[in-house]
Amino acid sequence: MSDITSQSLFELTSNIKEKKLSSEEITKAFIDRAEKSKKLNVYVTDNFEKAIDQSKKFDSNLNFDLKLPGIPIAVKDLFCTNGVRTTAGSKILNNFVPTYESTVTQNLWSQGAILLGKLNCDEFAMGSSNETSFFGNVQNPVGENLVPGGSSGGSSAAVAANLTPVTIGTDTGGSIRQPASFTGTVGLKPTYGSCSRYGIVAFASSLDQAGPMTKNVRDCSMLLEVISSFDQKDSTSIDYKRNCYSKELSKDIKGKKIGIPKEYRVDNMPDEIEQLWKNGISYAKDCGAEIIDISLPHTNYALPTYYIVAPAEASSNLARYDGVKYGFRSPGQNLIEMYEKTRSEGFGDEVKRRIMIGTYVLSSGYYDAYYLKAQKVRQLIKKDFDDAFSKVDAILTPSTPSSAFKIGEKTNDPVSMYLNDIFTVPINLAGLPGISIPAGKDKNNYPLGLQVIGKPFDEQNILNISYALEDKINFKNDISDWWLSE
Amino acid sequence: MSIDLKTVKHISKLARISIDDEKANKLKGDLNNIFEFIEKLNELNTDNVQALTSIAETTLRFRKDEIKSENIREKILKNSPEENKDFFVVPKVVE
């Protein structure tokens, strides 16, 4: 049997069910490794003691009908966890201990999973490098001083470094898929309305979705099956019949029509990404898929649209952090001064920037020119996809325009940071499901990902296509454990 | 168009985030760069386009108007920044 922490969710689940491993052994193995991996800075808050207690409890009361039997899992620190501090990577929530549980994490625990701890992320999920976190940046296990992507950077690093078997992140403009691409892992953003947003610290409510981040496609299907559910507590949750994604997982994609959008061939895209994409296309052909050239003419307008819509929603959502009912408070002579000081000291620079953009585009006299305009362009972007999906079953693109970059490389230029999400943002704007799978490496040996985009509620199809491609690509993430300490 | 210092200060007031002059100047630069990037949308004619209001094409659900009498007072006050078991405490509002 291979080392416990390097096993996939599928292997761990099988080993538990066959009684080859106990939940306690598995939980302790991940905790031991975490203790030696502090250099990566993936944890904001650990739950190790309670996790061991819970694993013992599971072992003394075995239940193999569960889908995640006694499996320890760390989650992004954006999910409210009852009794366990939830910070969203922000000083303003530094002392916040929720008294309720997010629906998505509740779904994990209801299927037997055990909370290992809360993973670092960009502040309020605003960032593409995990550098905006109040709790410091995260190291990408792929190489020293490399960003793990963001905003789910602690999550992607934890999966790649074998610190959790699987995890869940959130994706507003690429925050699951981009870090997955940067770390050689799999990340899926489900259709808007598939996973409940209840109990997830809100960033941009019309874009936010939770989703699985895993070592491989099969694990991804297993985890999606658990977290996707209809929820009365989220008014945008959609009541539809969800698949048993792992049971229906198949490599047979013969005859599937896969679209290749010409607009994703952007200026200055490295040759190796162009090559990666070509390889993906030829693998899809080898699997019997039909390749069709398509056009998504408004692709170039997606990022500017996103940088109106997302900050506008964020400025409204983050109005609640005023120092009155919970979180950080900075004292003031009067109420207004208390609000202003609390928010000034409690939020980091990127969050303030986005609140300011959002406030401006929603302010009197500018609403029509910016916000309304953006919502109209968003309609056009959605229509591009509707048209494309009348001809194809799925769309294949690169996940990101580059591989992971160095820590500090882009922090002084917000716009160049935003460009990271050029291939992922349109999918959120259109509410579609998208998955990033590792597909190759660049000249520095850093991972690169390919993205498969599907029709609404067609997660099964993009999982199957990814499953078939994964088999052909045969990606190996040879990570050297350079950060381990004794 | 460009955003001047006065506008930055005005937005910060609307957003209830106090900023000093140095920060305001830095923000002015950042915001202008970002808005220059956003202005790209003006290339598109959207006169006859209906604004997207909901990405999930569903209507909001109705639910029964019923009391779920869970006593959550303590839970709600638990994270209150200033210790008080009955109320949220804020600076004096009425003189």
In this model, does residue A330 exceed pLDDT 70? Answer: yes
* Minimal CA separation from B93 to chain A, in Å: 7
Which residue on chain B is closest to A419 by alpha carbon?
B37
Domain for residue A140, yes or no?
A: yes
The full length of chain A comes to 486
> What residues contact residue A266 under an 8 Å CB cut-off, 6+ apart?
A401, A422
Which residue on chain A is closest to B63 by alpha carbon?
A232
Task: Encode burial over A8-21: b for 16+ CB neighbours within 10 A, e otherwise.
Answer: bbbbbbebbeeeeb
- Band of pLDDT at residue A266, cut at 50, 70 and 90: confident
A138 backbone φψ class: left, alpha, beta (φ>0; ψ -120 to 50)? beta
- Band of pLDDT at residue A362, cut at 50, 70 and 90: very high
Q: What is the pLDDT of residues A196-255, one digit of tens each?
A: 999 999 999 999 999 999 999 999 999 999 999 999 999 999 999 999 999 999 999 999
In this model, does residue B71 exceed pLDDT 70? Answer: yes
For chain A, how many structural domains are there in total? Answer: 1
* Minimal CA separation from A2 to chain B, in Å: 44
Q: What is the pLDDT of residues A25-47, one digit of tens each?
A: 999 999 999 999 999 999 999 99
Question: What is the domain range of residue A154?
Answer: 8-255
**Helix (H) or strand (E) run with residue A44 in it:** strand A43-46
A166, A223 in Cβ contact below 8 A?
yes
Q: What is the pLDDT of residues A170-203, one digit of tens each?
A: 999 999 999 999 999 999 999 999 999 999 999 9
A427, A187 in Cβ contact below 8 A?
no
**Separation CA B38–CA A15 (nearest Å):** 52
Closest by Cα among A453, A481, A476 to A465: A453
Of A206, A235, A334, the CB nearest to B91: A334
A76 is catalytic: yes
In this model, does residue A419 exceed pLDDT 90? Answer: no
Task: Please list every residue in chain B whose beta carbon sits closer than 8 Å to the beta carbon of residue A298.
Answer: 44
Q: What is the pLDDT of residues A430-484, one digit of tens each?
A: 999 999 999 999 999 999 999 999 999 999 999 999 999 999 999 998 899 999 9
Size of interface A-B (CB pairs under 8 A): 160
Task: Please list every residue in chain A whose beta carbon sits closer than 8 Å to the beta carbon of residue B33.
Answer: 413-415
Percentage above 90 pLDDT, chain B: 62
Residue type, A342: T
Put simply, the answer to whether B15 touches A359 (Cβ < 8 Å) is: yes
* Minimal CA separation from A328 to chain B, in Å: 7
Q: Is any Cβ of chain B less than 8 angstroms from the Cβ of A109? A: no
Q: Residue A97's domain is classified under what CATH number?
A: 3.90.1300.10
User: What's the ipTM?
Assistant: 0.95
Give the pLDDT confidence score for residue A54 in this predicted structure: 98
Copy the structure tokens of residue A282. 């030829």
Of A307, A360, A373, the CB nearest to B11: A360
Q: Is any Cβ of chain B less than 8 angstroms from the Cβ of A90? A: no
Domain for residue A409, yes or no?
A: no
Domain for residue A66, yes or no?
A: yes
Closest by Cα among A32, A49, A30, A24 to A158: A30
Mean pLDDT of A391-404: 97
* Residue boundaries of the structural domains of chain B: 5-43
In a 13 Å sphere around the CA of A314, the CA atoms on its Cβ side amount to 27
A278 is catalytic: no
A294, A259 in Cβ contact below 8 A?
yes
The catalytically annotated residue of A55, A90, A175, A196 is A175
Copy the structure tokens of residue A22. 């106990």
Mean pLDDT of B36-62: 89
Task: Output the average pLDDT for chain A.
Answer: 96
Domain for residue A309, yes or no?
A: no
* Minimal CA separation from B30 to chain A, in Å: 7
Give the pLDDT confidence score for residue B1 in this predicted structure: 62
A281, A315 in Cβ contact below 8 A?
no
Domain for residue A373, yes or no?
A: no
A175 is catalytic: yes
Put simply, the answer to whether B41 touches A303 (Cβ < 8 Å) is: no
